[in-house]
Structures are given as C-alpha cells and as structure tokens.
Structure 1
Amino acid sequence: MSISKFVFIVSMNVKKEYEDLFNEVYDEEHVPHLLNVPGVNKVTRGKGIPFNFSIGGETKSMDSPNQKFVAMYEIDNPEVINSKEWAIAVEKGRWSTQVRQHTYDRSHFLYEYC
C-alpha cells in the first residue's frame, strides 16, 4: 500500500427512509468497489454528530454538520477520481440504481496532504 498524497472528501445527506439501505450498500458494495480502483488506498466513513470542544479558555458547542454523512478516500493523485476505473466502479452495484437518487446536498472536495 502506498502513502496517500491526497484525500477526496464526499459529504451528503440521504432521505431518512433510505438510511439503512444507504449504509448497507455503501459499506458492502460501494466502498469495496472503489478500493479496487488503482490509486485508492483507504476509505473511511463517518456520520456527523453534535459536540463540544475547548478553545481560548472557553467551551464551544457545535451542532451536527449540514451533511450527515462523509466518506474520505485516500488517493495517490487527482487523476484517480477521473480515471476510467473510478468511473466504472462508482456505477457498480445498487449504488447507482437504488441509492444515489435518494442522496442530496452532496459536496466534493480534494485536499493535498501537507
């Protein structure tokens, strides 16, 4: 496994009644398909929650983020997410036919590690 130089971050919401299907398909199909793409080294998923933190001698309270779900793809270079292999992988399984249409507020960001 190579050391990733970039992280592609995708965040979104999903209609409440489709959350179970979303999580099942993401974990069991979507992530494994994308991990087979050359240059994808790791995928981590998360769900936003409210939290408190200390800064400047004060405790701050934060609500859950606007997008409830996030996936972080550690990749070798920006070309990975525009490759033929990536394009094929993101359409595999039930993601493209049963899940994607129930997501909204999608955001995509690419960061280079420093």
Structure 2
Amino acid sequence: MAIGALKENHHMAYIFLVQMDIPAEHEAEFNRIYDEEHVPLIVQVPGCTACSRYKLEHSAQDDTAKYLAIYELETPDVPDTAAWKAASDTGLWKPMIRPHTTNRRHSVFQRIAGTVHSPATT
C-alpha cells in the first residue's frame, strides 16, 4: 500500500518516537505531568493526531530507555514547528521534568506498509 493511499485513508504516515529515562525519585511526577499536561498540549499541535505511551518491559540492549512515547503525525516536520516547541515548553514539563530526563532519543519514522493482524482464533 502506497503512502499516498495511507493518507487518503486517514492513517498516519509518520510517527515520532521519543524515548527517555527519568531517575526513580522523579518518576511519579514525570508520569503525572506527562499524562495530565504534556501529552494533552502536544496533541493539540496541528499535524499531531495522537500519542501513546509505553514503559519498557525488557530489551536485548542495555541502553534502551525506560519510557517511550509514540506521536502520530501527518507530516514528518511537525516536531520541528514553532507550535510543537511552544507546546513542549508550556507548563511544568520544561522546568520540572525535562532537566531530570536522560538517555533522550528522538526519531521520526515513515510508514511503509499497513497493519497486519493475526487471524482470529475460534
């Protein structure tokens, strides 16, 4: 399935992966501010349609960050916009959480194929 077809079907053609670690003593506040303030601000940015967050269960790499956010984007440049920066710098995230984050990684991926589901079990 071509990317153009994905866009026509309203499936996001890009995702922005944000990975990071936070010291244990800041973890509760990190999750509260991320969920209650940061994500709701970011998903209001034009071109960002959704966000899902994950916590690492296990990895084959020792340096994999503990937290992952996946933002669904309409275009790959959304995280570089003034609106994204403004939303990212608003509220408690920038002064209270960002200084404590480590192992930060940011990556934009383009969708190249549709979702394949396993057959339903009967």
* TM-score interval for Structure 1 and Structure 2 normalised by the shorter chain: 0.7 to 0.9
Pairwise mapping of residues 75-114 of structure 1 onto structure 2 (< 5 A)?
75-114=73-112
How big is the shift at 1:3? 2.5
CA shift in 2, pair 1:65/1:44, >3 Å: farther
CA distance in 2 between partners of 1:73 and 1:9 (Å): 7
Aligned to 2:39: 31
Aligned to 2:64: 66
How big is the shift at 1:64? 7.6
The one of 31, 45, 50 equivalent to 1:42 is 50
| TM-score computed with the length of structure 2 as normaliser | 0.79
Q: Is contact 1:11-1:70 (8 Å) kept?
A: yes
Q: Is contact 1:49-1:65 (8 Å) kept?
A: no
Cα RMSD between the aligned structures? 1.5
| TM-score computed with the length of structure 1 as normaliser | 0.84
CA distance in 2 between partners of 1:71 and 1:77 (Å): 17
How big is the shift at 1:63? 7.4
Q: Is contact 1:50-1:64 (8 Å) kept?
A: no
Segments of structure 2 that go 5 or more residues without pairing to the other structure are: 1-9, 113-122
The one of 4, 11, 17 equivalent to 1:3 is 11
Amino acid across the alignment from 2:25: E
Q: More strand per residue: 1 or 2?
A: 1
CA distance in 2 between partners of 1:63 and 1:20 (Å): 25
Q: How many residues align?
A: 103
Segments of structure 1 that go 5 or more residues without pairing to the other structure are: 52-61
Runs of 4 or more above 3 Å deviation: 62-65
